[in-house]
Amino acid sequence: MPRYYFNFSDGRRWFTDDVGQDFGGLAAARSHAVRQVRELKAAMCDPGIQDLTGWTMQVVDGDGRTVFDIGFDLKPDRVEN
Q: Which residues contact 25 (CB under 8 A, 6 or more apart)?
A: 2
pLDDT of residue 50: 65
pLDDT of residue 49: 63
The pTM for the full model equals 0.80
Strands 76-79 and 66-71: antiparallel
Domain range annotation of the chain: 3-13+21-79
- Residues 27-75: tens digit of each pLDDT: 999 999 999 988 887 777 665 666 777 889 999 999 999 998 998 876 5
pLDDT of residue 5: 98
